Structure 1
C-alpha cells in the first residue's frame, strides 16, 4: 500500500515537472520582438510562385508587417486573413516561434486549366473550380480551353473535365487543347498524332476517352498515328474515323 502511494507521488511530481518544463520552454521573453519571417510555400511544382519578398510587401502595404513588433502584439489571424486575399493563395497559416520568428505557411491555388474564349475572356481555373487571374505563373503543363466558352460552363463542366485530365497521367500528357464549339460540343487537340478527337457534349467523357485509348493501342499503333484527321466518339459503343 505504501509503495503504491509513493509511486503515485513520484508520478505526480514527474508530471508536474514536465508541465512546468514545457511551459517554461514555450514562454516567450516579455517584450520579445519579431526579427524575421520564415516562409514555407506548398505546391511549388504546380502553382504560381509566391516569394518571401512578395509576402513581406503585402504585409507592409496593409500596415501589418510583424518585423520589429513585439510578438505578443502580432495577430496571426489578421496576417492569415490578409494573405488569403491574394489571388494565388488558397490559405495561409501563421504561428510564432520562441526564437522570435513569425512562420508563415502558404498553400497556393493549383491551376488545372487555362481558358481563352472567343469573347476575349482569359483566365485560369483552379482545382476548386474558381477563377484565377491570367498573370498567374504556372510551372506545370496545362491544357488550354478555347472557343465558344461561357464562364458558367467553364466553372462547372470544363472544370470537372480538367480535373479528370490532371488525375489521368495518359490524358494529362496527351491533351493539349480543348476546343468548345457552338452548342457546347467539344473536340480535343492531342499532342501526339495529327488528328482531332470529337467528343460531342461533355457527358460520359471517361467512357469516350477509354474507347479512344483502346483505339490508339489496337489500331493507330498498327496503321500509324497520322492516318486519320478526325476520331469521333460522340455516340456510344462506336468510333467514326475520317481518313485524310
Structure 2
C-alpha cells in the first residue's frame, strides 16, 4: 500500500502540471480569439519631453489599420507595431501587449535630448543622453545645452553617433560633444552655470556661462572633467579675490594654472 501511495504522489503531481498547461493553452487560444475592444496608449515623458504624445502614437498605430478595433487579438501584428514605433528617432523603446479584457496596450519611451548641435551651415540636430541622434521639430523645443561654431557634424537619423563616428574616416566631434554634455548635465553646478558651448577656429571648446559673460577655454575634449574641477576651484577661491568682471576670457587648458585675459576696453 505504501509503495502504491509513493507511486501515485508523483503521478498526481504530473497530472496536475499537465492540467495547468492545458488550461493555460486554452486561455491563450481564447485570448487570441478575443476581439480588440480598446486601445490604451501611454507615453513616458522624462523631464516633460514632448517630441511625441499619446495622440500621435495612437494615429501611427491606427494608420491604415482602422479595423484594429474589433479584430481578433491573434491577428494583430504587435511585433510589427513595436518595430515601427522603435524606428522613430525620438523613441528609445516600445512595448505592445494585450490583456484579457480586450485592451491592447501601447507603451512608448521617449529619448531624452541633452544637447543641440548647430552646424556652421545652419543645419542642426539633437543628441540624446545615450548618444543617439534626433531631428529637430517645429512643435517642440526642449531647453538643452547648445553647441555652435565651427562644426560640420553629419546628421544620421536613427544612428548612434559615437558608434558611427568610429567607422568614419573623417574626424567628427560627436563623441566629444556628448562627453562634455554628459559631464555638464550630471553636475548641478555646471548644469545651472553653462548655457552654451562654442567650437572655435582651432576646433576647441569654449564655454559660455549664464552669468559673467566670459569665454571659458577648456580645450579639445581631453581631460574635461579635470579642467572643470580646476575651474570650480577658481570660482570658489580665486574669483572672490578679484573683480571677475574685468576678465573676458578664462583659460583652463594648461596644467597647474589658469590664465585670465582682461576685457578689451574701447
Shared fold (TM-score, shorter chain, > 0.5): yes
Structure 1 residues 57 and 7 mapped into 2: Cα distance closer, same or farther (>3 Å)?
same
Structure 1 residues 38 and 224 mapped into 2: Cα distance closer, same or farther (>3 Å)?
farther
Distance 1:206 1:64 in 2: 53
1:209 is the counterpart of 2:228: yes
Unaligned stretches of 5+ residues in structure 2: 155-171
C-alpha RMSD over aligned residues? 2.6
Give CA-to-partner distance per residue, 1:112-166, whole Å, 9 cap, x none.
1111222111211122333211117354x41101111120534222122212222
Counterpart of 1:71 in structure 2 is 73
Contact residue 130 and residue 155 of structure 1 kept, 8 A = no
Counterpart of 2:109 in structure 1 is 107
Structure 1 residues 31 and 5 mapped into 2: Cα distance closer, same or farther (>3 Å)?
closer
Give CA-to-partner distance per residue, 1:183-211, whole Å, 9 cap, x none.
21111011233322111222111111110
1:171 is the counterpart of 2:190: yes
Structure 1 residues 26 and 193 mapped into 2: Cα distance closer, same or farther (>3 Å)?
farther
Counterpart of 1:137 in structure 2 is 140
Unaligned stretches of 5+ residues in structure 1: none
Structure 1 residues 181 and 11 mapped into 2: Cα distance closer, same or farther (>3 Å)?
same
Structure 1 residues 46 and 155 mapped into 2: Cα distance closer, same or farther (>3 Å)?
farther
The structure 1 segments of at least 4 consecutive aligned residues displaced by more than 6 Å after TM superposition are none
Counterpart of 1:158 in structure 2 is 177
Q: CA deviation at 1:57?
A: 1.3
Distance 1:59 1:65 in 2: 11
SS in 1 for 2:30: coil
Q: CA deviation at 1:236?
A: 1.6
Contact residue 148 and residue 197 of structure 2 kept, 8 A = yes
Contact residue 56 and residue 65 of structure 1 kept, 8 A = no
Equivalent residue runs for 1:17-28 within 5 Å: 18-19=20-21, 22-23=24-25, 26=28, 28=30
Contact residue 46 and residue 138 of structure 1 kept, 8 A = no
Distance 1:42 1:207 in 2: 35
